[in-house]
Chain A
Amino acid sequence: MIPVSDLLLDVEDDTGGSAASAGSDETATVADRYHPVVVWHVTGANNLDPAYGEDTAGPGHGDGELTTAEATGVIEDLAAYGVVAIRFAGGEPLLRDDLETLIERASGAGLRTELSTNGTLLTEERAESLREAGLDEVDVAIDGLPEHHDELYGREGAFDDALDGIQAAQDVGLVPGVRFTLTEANAADMEELVDLLALQGVERFRFHHLEYSADELMDLDVDHEAQRRAVRRVCDITLDAHDRGHDVETLLEGNYADTGYVYQYARDELSEDRAEAIRTRLEAGGGDPAGERIADIDYQGNVHLTPYWQAYSLGNVRDRPFSAIWEDESNPLLAKLRDREEHLPDRCPNCEYYAMCRGGSRHRALAAEGDVWARDPQCYLTDEEIGLDADTSPSSAD
């Protein structure tokens, strides 16, 4: 997670590398190897049919979904281990009737609780019960202007229903944000959408690069130049809103090449001092979090390295607790991810931005190249930008 607005506008950091929202909770602690953020897909059920994201079980609940008793047992283990936050996701998590029970248990155990929803089931009554349960943060997925959003989610009116959900959350005192997944189809919608949603009172925007777990999803992905334009747009939107007196919180997720780009943007558009302060903060953030600062549990209890790396599971919480699975470095892959520098492609450790990025997405390398330790295909930074000259650059050597 790259807190763009905090970085560019020099807002104090109080959550560091956490996937939890930066700057909004003084009690939040920084996520690290021993205190990860856990994304938990509590159900496979989904009332919409998104073009990407987790495999869903359709309108009904999936086979083998963790029971309420099992789920509360998992929460007790996560809290005892020191997990800093749980992000409840799906499927569509609001289809799970005991969601408030789970949030209440997690919140009561001192965990930060976040909800990632399509918003269409977020009535005022449901929003109130979530608030009473102790929910700290809710993000509604909106992936474009109405036409694009409805097409991506497979239902006419999904956009309007999501806006109603945002309004319902605001009416009960929650402060909903918007999660926007960048694709070729929606990249051009960004400015208009942010303006529209800002008028609705939305103050937090998470811009998420599309990850993929299957080849066909790459068709939706944006090319390198489009990625650069999108990241520049996020930076421009942030400064433009600030100049107009409307501060919005903007975050980038899913591609740590963005750290280098944001640094360069600050150097070009702001000042050297600001850029260096950004570098210091992003290096402290630790770069790609897979296997360290983020973990994922699916609705059947399988533990994954990231929310997108679903085809491989480290283990299942029905066999032993998450804490034991996460600590077990007899798993060679987990051990390598935590000691990744010597396994990454040559280009990475020599990159000027390595400490901010740490090699980018290993899952994306696996999906695109069939090699966990290949170059992240979405690293759009050129050899010149990352400080490699023609004599030493592996990609230029031939």
Chain B
Amino acid sequence: MTANADGRREAIDQPRGRHSREWEVFVRETVEDPLTHVGSVTADEKETAREQAETLFSDVVSVWLCPGSAVYRDADPELTPGESA
């Protein structure tokens, strides 16, 4: 991620998911636990993404999915690779 001339950081918005859609996956392991980001699955359809996520994380109490393209990502440049890191 790099900074614009006016000092604003550019969002991390490059495509992900190659030939299909990427779905960010969040799980809550127990009712007391916070919702945690646990990566992403690749699937054309929401239903397929749901099946994949629930198979991978079969013993959690909640699974949330969000299309990767709907996520606005803004992170400290230290976290991202490249010349600004």
Contact = CB atoms under 8 A, between A and B. Distances in A.
Interface of A: 44, 55, 57, 62-64, 66-67, 69-74, 76-77, 298, 300-302, 310-321, 324, 330-333, 366, 370-372
Nearest to A366: B55
B57 A333 contact: yes
Contact of B18 (A62, A324, A372): A62
Interface in B35-85: 36-43, 52, 55-57, 59-60, 73, 75, 79-83, 85
B60 A372 contact: no
Given A55-B18, A300-B15, A333-B57, A70 B82 contact: yes
Contacts of A318: 1, 12, 14, 73, 80-81
A298 B19 CA distance: 13
A63 B55 contact: no
A71 B81 contact: yes
A162 B60 CA distance: 48
B72 to A, nearest CB: 12
A127 B6 CA distance: 44
B40 A300 contact: no
Given A73-B85, A320-B80, 9 more contacts: A63-B15, A70-B81, A300-B14, A311-B42, A312-B56, A316-B16, A318-B1, A321-B81, A333-B38
Contacts of A331: 36, 38-39
Interface of B: 1, 12, 14-19, 22, 27, 29, 36-43, 52, 55-57, 59-60, 73, 75, 79-83, 85
A367 to B, nearest CB: 11
A323 B65 CA distance: 25
B81 A372 contact: no
Given A55-B19, A319-B12, A319-B75, A332 B40 contact: no
B41 A67 contact: no
Q: Which of A77, A298, A310, A331 is packed against the most chain B CB atoms within 10 Å?
A: A331
Nearest to B75: A319
A371 B18 contact: no
A242 B48 CA distance: 51
B55 A44 contact: no
Given A71-B81, A74-B81, A318-B12, A312 B52 contact: yes
A76 B78 CA distance: 13
Nearest to B85: A73
B55 A372 contact: yes
Contacts of A62: 18
25 contacts: A55-B18, A64-B16, A72-B81, A73-B81, A77-B81, A298-B18, A301-B16, A302-B22, A310-B42, A312-B39, A313-B41, A314-B39, A315-B37, A315-B40, A317-B80, A318-B73, A318-B81, A319-B80, A321-B79, A324-B79, A332-B57, A333-B56, A366-B55, A371-B55, A372-B55
A66 B14 CA distance: 9
Given A55-B18, A57-B18, A74-B81, A332 B55 contact: no
B16 A300 contact: yes
Given A318-B14, A319-B12, A302 B40 contact: yes
Nearest to A370: B55
Contacts of A319: 12, 73, 75, 79-80
Contact of B52 (A44, A64, A311, A320): A311
